[in-house]
Chains A and B, each alone.
Chain A
Amino acid sequence: MKKTGLICMVMVAIIVLSIPFGISGCAGGPDGEAEEVVLRVGSTRPFSTTNKFSDYWYGVLSGITTHDSLIKLGPDMQPVPWLAREWHISEDSKTFTFTIVNNATWHDNTTLTAEDVKFSIEYYRDRDPQAGWMNDVISSVEVLDGNRVRLSLNRSYGNLLTEFMTYTAVPQHIWSGVENPLTYNGTDRIVGSGPFRLESWDPAAGKFVFIANANYFGGKPKVDRLEVYVFGTMDALVMALIRGDIDTWWDYSGEFPNTYIPPLLVSGKIDFAFATFLGVPAALGFNDQRSLTNNITFRRAVTYAINYSQIVDLVFGGYGTVPTYGFSPSTHPNHNNTIPRLACNRTMAENLLNSIGVIDSDSDGWREFEGAKVTLTLLTRSDSISMLRSTEMVASDLKAIGLDTNIVALGSAAWRTRKDAKNYDLVFFRGTPWGMLMHAGHGSGYFDSRRTGAGVLFNLNNAEYLATCDARLATAIPGEQAQLDNKLQQLHGELLPGIALAWIESTYPYRKGWENWVVDHIYGGVVNSFSWFTVTRGQ
């Protein structure tokens, strides 16, 4: 009995001792200003640190809150001035000159100068692994007369403006001494110049608090306090939205799952904004290293086999359209309207397969090629539920024309490794909004064989295509750009490196009462840098 008592006491002691484990010094002060406008935003992205260099997702979030880029992409897809109030591009697209606003300050009240901008560009170029491309392109950065910064490139690079929209200025006085930005843990790493400053990040609560920057060069944002809540799952986020714990949803490059719209509608508390998604939520790429999938006729047969409207209707809840062969959605500048829409035509698909000798020679229901049964390996991502559903449907469409499939669903890291090893026949991927704009635009960054990258296929080495990409990169003249953009899309349709399976309409839910959002295509729907200065809360 004595022993039992002792054990009980030990257990009680452990319970009591375990409670203080939850304590930490992080507790924000109470604030009770009557007129304060608080916007609460939910996200399901995995944030891990507040270092914008090492944490991809915090980097994206900081780009619309605490940090400023030189220019931004406006809702009409044209560059708009931001930290740079104007810019000038030389005829040959080799010299870019930015004029920096005069009244910008860092959150620690030091002035933001052209020197800071010069430093930032060089810092990204030399230290940030994400910005490796700058090394190949930017030869020198210099400050001209106080507030102008001039970039000299070693070759024409007309797409520099677009690429620069994702890089934000960082203060020289903080980072100049930091050898490796990825591992920098100083508390001043959060200092930026943006409309908000980061007040706190509590990983245990899954909550960021941003406070409006009263000294912002563009004026004080209308939102005084921005809270970003991180949820483990979309389910919990949607419940929080209906319950009123959060006001809206933020994500970059992800689509709001349309299957969640009905409960939001039913709740009667949610309004929606719409914008055509700039990216491609589900796309299909062909392996150029395997004889069958390198054959354009075979690729065309596959494109005829797929029931696109079924994917749009069932996977994306009908909020979308069947894409064209041009790959990039119609919101992209210089959309080519002459390219035909993808269509399902099984007879055509079967005829094409027969014409190249992919036939069911032993009448077992499956087609053979050169004596061996064709089993296509479909590489897809297990972490994207809509991609998984699309894969399932494409597999069943291919089975309908006698092509057997083997689905290989992998998490993103393993998917990348296998994709880079070209160990697949067909690969499912997605085009993110910025990804569609990179390189020569219109998704060319995903296909150009000379590029490598985390999400890209580098599966097209057609000379004409590569030359078109280079020409497009070299010019900053709108007329030439339009012509080359049209050609790129046309070549996508002819060479078929990959096809979009659906173009979608993105829905951005927000609580009723919030008004005057700016809906943009790229930074995250209603939650973006433009909205901070327009959004209001009515009653």
Chain B
Amino acid sequence: MRLVRVIRSNPLVFSGVAIVGIFGIVAILADIMMPHDPWGYGQPFLAPSRLHLLGTNDVGQDIFSELLLGSRTSLLIGFSAGILAVVIGVFIGMIAGFRGGLIDNLLMGMTDVVLVIPALPLVILLTVYVRSNIWLIVAVIGLVSWPNTARVIRSQVLTIRQSGYVESARALGADDGWLMLRHILPNVMPLILAKFVLVVAVAMLMEASLSFLGLGDPSTKSWGMMLRYAYARGGFVRGLWWWYTPPGLCIGLCILGLMFISFGVEAKSDPRLKRVLDR
């Protein structure tokens, strides 16, 4: 219930949760809410009307329905990649921070390696290798987005370790796994949440970028693919704002919501451990 308190007490977090929550509900209920089949073909390039709220695209698919269904793909990619990255990051960060010594250096060395290879080119390279499929995109994004989390978690673990009570717990016979679960994880939870939310944002942006380059999954509706088609099929030049604005705005709004949450949660956590936000 602490979470609810945090959300209610902080207007930033509150609005962030509200924005993301609305998109989440839309994503879950997309099937019910869609007025048309977003894969059904019809009259192309229709302007917005009562029948088609946002008009139709180049092959006559209803843009509003695409937008609703797209929220599902985009959020799914974002959250799955976020979970994957955070799980890897927390795991590596915890082990490194807890064990120290050689293992720490090995793991942090690995982190450095992944951190210095530019993410987008690497993701492009890997998607070229694995082909367009949202789960592979998730895996790839997840696999390159964990180092920041690992670093932050590690330094948090180190701080908490030094605070003494972990030492005393250990002296009382608690084993490492128990210590991590019982004492360290709750302490770093806000940070994990903040990092998670950021990875989600990064993953959503990356999906949009990959789609723009033609590396998206053509058998799924996502905001990125919508933008790609709007761009490659003349939506911009023709000034069809109802086609190219909504997906971009949705991506932006969703990420804004996530940023609000990250921002608020991070401010709530120990201010002495202020961390650099990393994109």
Stretch at the interface among B113-121, B214-222, B252-260: B214-222
- In the complex, are the beta carbons of A409 and B131 less than 8 A apart? yes
For residue B227, give the distance in angstroms from its CB to the closest CB of chain A.
Answer: 12
- In the complex, are the beta carbons of A382 and B215 less than 8 A apart? yes
- In the complex, are the beta carbons of A382 and B214 less than 8 A apart? yes
For residue A251, give the distance in angstroms from its CB to the closest CB of chain B.
Answer: 15
- In the complex, are the beta carbons of B131 and A385 less than 8 A apart? no
| Chain A residues with CB below 8 A from B214, complex form | 382-383, 385, 388, 411
- In the complex, are the beta carbons of B39 and A235 less than 8 A apart? no
Given known pairs A314-B41, A409-B218, the reply for A385 and B233 (CB within 8 Å) is yes
For residue A318, give the distance in angstroms from its CB to the closest CB of chain B.
Answer: 10
B135 interface residue (CB < 8 Å to A): no
| Chain A residues with CB below 8 A from B239, complex form | 263
CB closest residue in chain A, given B232 = A385
B178 interface residue (CB < 8 Å to A): no
A257 interface residue (CB < 8 Å to B): yes
- In the complex, are the beta carbons of B231 and A235 less than 8 A apart? yes
B165 interface residue (CB < 8 Å to A): no
- Proximity string of chain A (361-405) to chain B, C-beta cutoff 8 Å, 1 when within and 0 when not: 000000000000000000010110100110111011000000000
Partner of A262, one of B39, B59, B238: B238
- In the complex, are the beta carbons of A414 and B131 less than 8 A apart? yes
For residue A308, give the distance in angstroms from its CB to the closest CB of chain B.
Answer: 13
**Interface CB pairs A-B, < 8 A, 25:** A233-B232, A235-B231, A235-B237, A239-B237, A242-B237, A259-B233, A260-B237, A262-B45, A262-B234, A263-B237, A263-B238, A314-B60, A382-B132, A382-B215, A382-B218, A383-B214, A385-B214, A385-B229, A391-B218, A393-B41, A407-B218, A408-B132, A409-B218, A411-B128, A414-B128
B186 interface residue (CB < 8 Å to A): no
| Chain A residues with CB below 8 A from B41, complex form | 310, 314, 393, 396
- In the complex, are the beta carbons of B128 and A235 less than 8 A apart? no
- Bound-state Cα–Cα, A310 to B214, Å: 23
- Proximity string of chain B (48-60) to chain A, C-beta cutoff 8 Å, 1 when within and 0 when not: 0000000000111
Q: How many residues belonging to B are interface residues under a CB distance threshold of 8 Å?
A: 26
A466 interface residue (CB < 8 Å to B): no
B11 interface residue (CB < 8 Å to A): no
Please give 10 more A-B residue pairs, beta carbons under 8 A apart, in addition to A388-B214, A408-B131. A233-B231, A262-B45, A314-B59, A385-B229, A388-B218, A395-B219, A396-B39, A406-B219, A410-B128, A411-B215
Q: Is the interface of B mostly helix, strand, loop or mixed?
A: loop
B44 interface residue (CB < 8 Å to A): yes
- Bound-state Cα–Cα, A413 to B128, Å: 9
For residue A316, give the distance in angstroms from its CB to the closest CB of chain B.
Answer: 11
Given known pairs A382-B218, A414-B128, the reply for A257 and B237 (CB within 8 Å) is no
B236 interface residue (CB < 8 Å to A): yes
A315 interface residue (CB < 8 Å to B): yes
- Bound-state Cα–Cα, A215 to B26, Å: 69
CB closest residue in chain B, given A237 = B237
CB closest residue in chain B, given A315 = B59
| Chain B residues with CB below 8 A from A235, complex form | 231-232, 234, 236-237
A234 interface residue (CB < 8 Å to B): yes
> Considering the complex of A and B, which 7 residue pairs feature the smallest CB-CB distances, nearest first?
A259-B234, A314-B59, A385-B232, A260-B234, A382-B214, A407-B219, A259-B233
- Bound-state Cα–Cα, A21 to B214, Å: 32
- Proximity string of chain B (16-56) to chain A, C-beta cutoff 8 Å, 1 when within and 0 when not: 00000000000000000000000101001100000000000
Partner of A392, one of B44, B129, B131, B218: B218
Given known pairs A310-B41, A314-B60, the reply for A257 and B131 (CB within 8 Å) is no
A238 interface residue (CB < 8 Å to B): yes
- Bound-state Cα–Cα, A411 to B45, Å: 28
| Chain B residues with CB below 8 A from A257, complex form | 232-234
| Chain B residues with CB below 8 A from A263, complex form | 234, 237-239
| Chain A residues with CB below 8 A from B39, complex form | 396
For residue A168, give the distance in angstroms from its CB to the closest CB of chain B.
Answer: 32
Given known pairs A235-B237, A257-B233, A314-B41, the reply for A389 and B59 (CB within 8 Å) is yes
For residue A254, give the distance in angstroms from its CB to the closest CB of chain B.
Answer: 13
- Proximity string of chain B (201-243) to chain A, C-beta cutoff 8 Å, 1 when within and 0 when not: 0000000000000110111000000001101111011110000
- In the complex, are the beta carbons of A393 and B59 less than 8 A apart? yes
- Proximity string of chain B (167-206) to chain A, C-beta cutoff 8 Å, 1 when within and 0 when not: 0000000000000000000000000000000000000000
| Chain B residues with CB below 8 A from A262, complex form | 45, 234, 238
For residue A209, give the distance in angstroms from its CB to the closest CB of chain B.
Answer: 27
| Chain A residues with CB below 8 A from B59, complex form | 314-315, 389, 392-393
- Bound-state Cα–Cα, A396 to B44, Å: 17
Partner of A314, one of B58, B215, B217: B58
Partner of B44, one of A238, A314, A393: A314
Interface centre among A383, A385, A391, by most chain B C-beta atoms within 10 angstroms, is A385
For residue A246, give the distance in angstroms from its CB to the closest CB of chain B.
Answer: 14
- Bound-state Cα–Cα, A410 to B237, Å: 27
For residue A439, give the distance in angstroms from its CB to the closest CB of chain B.
Answer: 30
For residue A146, give the distance in angstroms from its CB to the closest CB of chain B.
Answer: 53
Q: Which of B35-88 contact A (CB under 8 A)?
A: 39, 41, 44-45, 58-60
- Bound-state Cα–Cα, A380 to B218, Å: 10
- Proximity string of chain A (126-147) to chain B, C-beta cutoff 8 Å, 1 when within and 0 when not: 0000000000000000000000
| Chain B residues with CB below 8 A from A413, complex form | 128
- Bound-state Cα–Cα, A315 to B215, Å: 20
- Bound-state Cα–Cα, A411 to B132, Å: 10
- Bound-state Cα–Cα, A406 to B239, Å: 34
Q: Which of A253-295 contact B (CB under 8 A)?
A: 257, 259-260, 262-263
For residue A196, give the distance in angstroms from its CB to the closest CB of chain B.
Answer: 30
- Proximity string of chain A (235-255) to chain B, C-beta cutoff 8 Å, 1 when within and 0 when not: 100110010000000000000
| Chain B residues with CB below 8 A from A408, complex form | 131-132
- In the complex, are the beta carbons of B58 and A389 less than 8 A apart? yes
Interface centre among A239, A383, A392, by most chain B C-beta atoms within 10 angstroms, is A392
For residue A237, give the distance in angstroms from its CB to the closest CB of chain B.
Answer: 10
- Bound-state Cα–Cα, A391 to B231, Å: 19
Q: Which of A405-441 contact B (CB under 8 A)?
A: 406-411, 413-414
| Chain B residues with CB below 8 A from A242, complex form | 237
- Bound-state Cα–Cα, A480 to B82, Å: 66
- Bound-state Cα–Cα, A409 to B136, Å: 13
| Chain B residues with CB below 8 A from A388, complex form | 214, 218
CB closest residue in chain A, given B129 = A414
For residue A224, give the distance in angstroms from its CB to the closest CB of chain B.
Answer: 30
| Chain A residues with CB below 8 A from B233, complex form | 257, 259, 385
For residue A398, give the distance in angstroms from its CB to the closest CB of chain B.
Answer: 12
| Chain B residues with CB below 8 A from A233, complex form | 231-232
Interface centre among B39, B131, B215, by most chain A C-beta atoms within 10 angstroms, is B131
- Bound-state Cα–Cα, A92 to B217, Å: 53
| Chain B residues with CB below 8 A from A259, complex form | 45, 58, 233-234
CB closest residue in chain B, given A314 = B59
| Chain B residues with CB below 8 A from A385, complex form | 214, 228-229, 232-233
| Chain A residues with CB below 8 A from B231, complex form | 233, 235
For residue A124, give the distance in angstroms from its CB to the closest CB of chain B.
Answer: 32
- Bound-state Cα–Cα, A391 to B39, Å: 13
CB closest residue in chain B, given A389 = B59
| Chain A residues with CB below 8 A from B238, complex form | 262-263
